Amino acid sequence: MIPINDLLLFGLAALIMVISPGPNMIYLISRSLSQGKNAGLLSLFGVMCGFIFHILMVSFGLTAIFFAIPYAFLVVKFIGIGYLLYLAYNTVTSKNKIFDADQNLKSDKPLKLFNIGLMTNVLNPKMAIFYLSFFPQFIKPEYGSILSQSFQLGIIQVIISFTINFLIVISAAKMASWFSKKPIWLRIQKWFMASVLTGLAVKMALTKAK
């Protein structure tokens, strides 16, 4: 069982990640503005299923790696450090295009909306890399089953992502307007997000394998 303090820290990190304007937010706002709330919600369910797919793959993969390869946890740890620092750098240098969301997307049927949201996540290799580098800093063999710990983190991440994205869908127009009127938020968010990612990388580096 992962200690509550670590779970709270992970939850905070997951929250910061989901409120960071990115492809998912842009896609959900676009669908909601162009086809309405129901289309946005269907797209959201597809996106969430994509998260679950990656979480399952990474959870079982971490379990297999840690049991099959000596010192694998240490290797994954340092890969994660590098990736988190890369994310921090990319966060500061990237240009968010939240205001360029296409509001004229053609209407699609419910199943297609779901499938597009699903495949947008499933076919994104960066999601798998993110989970593979993010989870290990909160997972420790002494806490018990690697698989159960991964599921714990996955459930927390999905709940937080769904809640925030649900709010985004039902208030898409207000969200887009708010961001466009307060661009300073994007600059603050960039540096805050980069600081959090760098802090997590440092935390991971200082954690000793037992």
* CA end-to-end distance (rounded Å), the chain: 16
- Asked if the model's pLDDT at residue 152 lies above 50, the reply is yes
Q: Please state, in angstroms and rounded to a whole number, the distance separating the CA atoms of residues 134 and 143.
A: 17
- Tens of pLDDT, residue by residue over 161-187, are 999 999 988 887 676 666 666 667 667
- Distances from the Cα of 174 to the Cαs of 33, 42, 66, 103, in angstroms? 10, 20, 45, 14
Please classify residue 118 by burial: count the beta carbons closer than 10 Å to its beta carbon, then call 0-12 exposed, 13-18 middle and 19+ buried. Answer: buried
Mean pLDDT throughout 31-48?
87
CA–CA–CA angle 94, 96, 102 (5° rounding): 140
The answer to whether the pTM exceeds 0.75 is no
Residue 208 is predicted with a pLDDT of: 58
The type of residue at 153 is: L
- Tens of pLDDT, residue by residue over 65-103, are 655 665 666 676 677 677 668 767 876 776 655 445 555
Residue 90 is predicted with a pLDDT of: 74
Residues 150, 135 contacting (CB under 8 angstroms)? yes
DSSP secondary structure letter of residue 183: T
CA neighbor of 116 nearest in space, from 47, 204, 36: 47
What angle in degrees, to the nearest 10, is found between the helix axes of 184-206 and 72-93? 160
Write out the residue range of the structural domain in which residue 118 sits. 4-96+104-206
**pLDDT band at 210, cuts 50/70/90?**
very low
Mean pLDDT of all residues in the chain? 76
Specify the number of domains making up the chain. 1
User: For the chain, give me the number of helices (H) and strands (E)?
Assistant: 9, 0
Q: Which residue has the tokens 């590098």?
A: 82
DSSP secondary structure letter of residue 171: T
Please classify residue 121 by burial: count the beta carbons closer than 10 Å to its beta carbon, then call 0-12 exposed, 13-18 middle and 19+ buried. Answer: buried
